[in-house]
Structure 1
Amino acid sequence: MARFDMSSIECGALGAVRSGIVYFQLGMTYAIGKSTPIDRVAAHKWFNLAAREGVSEAVRMRRELSLEMSTAEIADAQRAAREWLTAH
């Protein structure tokens, strides 16, 4: 099954609400290991981006996920989200 990579999409056309939902779905994909290995750092990154777009469920999922992560993992996820925002 193909992996969905946001870096290959022109995100500006999606709009904030739609992109927030897509980010949330990516977070869930990595959080539960659906079609990809579980990756808490990637999940946290996508939940960060979804929360930034106003998806309230992403805030809750990010908080729950943080309880399972080390401080270093959370810092890596936050750095990855900032880098993604800078690049896109």
Structure 2
Amino acid sequence: MAVIDLSAIAEFEIEARNGKPTALYQLGLAYSTGQGVPLDLITAHKYFNLAASRGVSEARDWRSELASQMSPTEVAEAQRLARAWIAQSHQ
């Protein structure tokens, strides 16, 4: 797996705010592996959920894999965060 550097994370965050599906997916990868950001499965699931909703099929697979490692409460929190992100006009 390629190493994700901090400058790439910053660019992905900008692109994600504009709803770019590949940036959402890349942020999911970063948070799921702790590359360039702290490891955070809830945040990773949120980004994979958002990317999957925008047609990134790989994000669906990663989201499912993460969900199997998370508690139902953690999955619910990730889903809540994804809904909040959408509500903040990041459509």
TM-score by length of 2: 0.81
Runs of 4+ in 1 over 3 A off after TM superposition: 5-10
Give unpaired runs (5+ residues) of structure 2: 1-5
Q: Which residue number in structure 1 is paired with residue 3 of structure 2?
A: none
2:48 — aligned with what? Answer: 47
1:36-82 deviation line (CA, Å, top 9, x unaligned): 11100000000000000000000000000101000000000000000
Structure 1 length-normalised TM: 0.83
Aligned equivalent of 2:13: 6
Percentage identity across aligned positions? 41
Residue 66 of structure 2 aligns with an amino acid whose one-letter code is L
Q: Deviations over 1:19-46 (max 9, x none)?
A: 1111000000000000111100000000
Aligned length: 82
Looking at structure 1, the residues matched to 37 and 80 of structure 2 have their Cα atoms a distance apart, in angstroms, of: 21
Find the counterpart in structure 2 of residue 67 from structure 1. Answer: 68
**TM-fit CA distance, 1:8:** 8.5
Q: Secondary structure at the match of 2:65?
A: helix
Give the Cα separation in 1 of the matches to 2:17 and 2:49.
19
Give unmatched runs, 5+ long, in structure 1. Answer: 13-18
Q: CA RMSD in A?
A: 2.0
